[in-house]
Amino acid sequence: MATNIGMMDSAYFVGRSEILAWINSTLHLNLAKVEEACTGAVHCQLMDATHPGMVPMHKVNFDAKSEYEMIQNYKVLQDVFNKLKITKHIEVNKLIKGRPLDNLEFMQWMKRYCDSVNGGLIHSYNPLERRESCKGGKEASKKSASSQSTNKGVTAAPKAQSSHNARRHDVTSVNPTTQAIKTSKPSAVVPAYDEQITELKLSVDSLEKERDFYFAKLRDIEILCQSPGIEHLPIVGAIKRILYATDDDASVVAEAQAMVFHQQKEAEPLSPIAEVSEERTSSETQKRKNIVNVDVDTAGITTLSPRQRLSDVSDVHCSGSPLMTY
């Protein structure tokens, strides 16, 4: 049973016309657009048709117009999902907006799920009778019945008109074929424009989804950069420089790279070889100083006169040196 299917599954490639035909034939409705099912009532009855008696239809509102009333329908649907242990997430906030793409995707999933239960075969299910207990269910059934009768009348009218024109052919000399072509042109143009408008809406919804996805990613990066432990790091500053740039200029990236490079250069430690060479240089300098001091002392002694040397000896003798008393 397909409860969670991937976005690349064949179910999401089912067209709108096929989805609408499936809904209208199963529930005896006459929906012209998929987004007309955004109230959630159609989804509830589709689950009731798939699992008879599982949905409390007296809680379903087919006349829901406000978002609050629509949310109540989706609560009923969520309760049914919980009873059947279906883990499909219902994006209620998007569905009640009536966006074509969101409603189409969810309805595609609904069709795949209903087809996976008993092969999609629904036996002895009366959708009109089940809708009678719903709020606005009778009105929905009447609308579908009246629209179906109107469609039959519209299809029957051209036949009557063509026979009437055939009878008047000899009197008025009007070509019925030309007249039929002229009357059919407006009806053929309007559906083409409707289809183009729907495709544009779908593309806009897709672009908005992509925009919101990447904006959320950038927001996560911004929140991470504002963490107290790392917000003052140079690499974080470089990221903020790119995030908050107001113009599309390549120099912004170059400035951010320069910030990171400058920080790496300042934090780069001395190599062990350089430290050893500095130690050797300082030790050799100290040795040279000691040698120079010894040489100076020796030179001072040799430059003393014989009289100065004798006076030094007498000073030692007077001082009572143990070397001189021996």
Residue 160 pLDDT greater than 50, yes or no: no
Rounded distance, CA 284 to CA 281, Å?
A: 5
Residue 325: predicted pLDDT? 43
Quote the Cα angle for 249-250-255, to 5°.
Answer: 105
Residue 238: predicted pLDDT? 87
Q: Parse the chain into domains and list their residue ranges.
A: 10-143, 204-265
Residue 140 pLDDT greater than 70, yes or no: yes
Backbone φ and ψ for 100, nearest 5 degrees, come out as: -60, -45
Rounded distance, CA 15 to CA 35, Å?
A: 14
Residue 157 pLDDT greater than 70, yes or no: no
Rounded distance, CA 45 to CA 136, Å?
A: 13
Residue 118: predicted pLDDT? 74
Does the predicted model carry a pTM greater than 0.85?
no
* Dihedral sign of CA atoms 203, 209, 212, 218 in order: negative
Rounded distance, CA 181 to CA 257, Å?
A: 68
Q: Using one digit for the tens of pLDDT, what is the confidence trace for 16-75?
A: 999 999 999 999 999 999 999 999 999 999 999 999 989 999 999 999 999 999 999 999
**DSSP character at residue 271:** P
Rounded distance, CA 228 to CA 222, Å?
A: 12
Lowest mean pLDDT among 34-38, 72-76, 198-202, 306-310: 306-310
Across 211-233, average pLDDT = 86
Rounded distance, CA 220 to CA 156, Å?
A: 61
Across 184-196, average pLDDT = 68
Which two three-digit tokens encode residue 55?
């949905």
CB atoms within 10 A of CB 60: 27
Environment class of 127 (CB within 10 Å of its CB; exposed 0-12, middle 13-18, buried 19+): buried
Yes or no: domain 10-143 corresponds to CATH 3.30.230.10? no
Rounded distance, CA 178 to CA 184, Å?
A: 10
Spatial contact of 96 and 70, defined as CB atoms under 8 Å apart: yes
The CATH number fitting domain 204-265, selected from 2.30.30, 1.20.5, 1.20.120, 1.10.150: 1.20.5
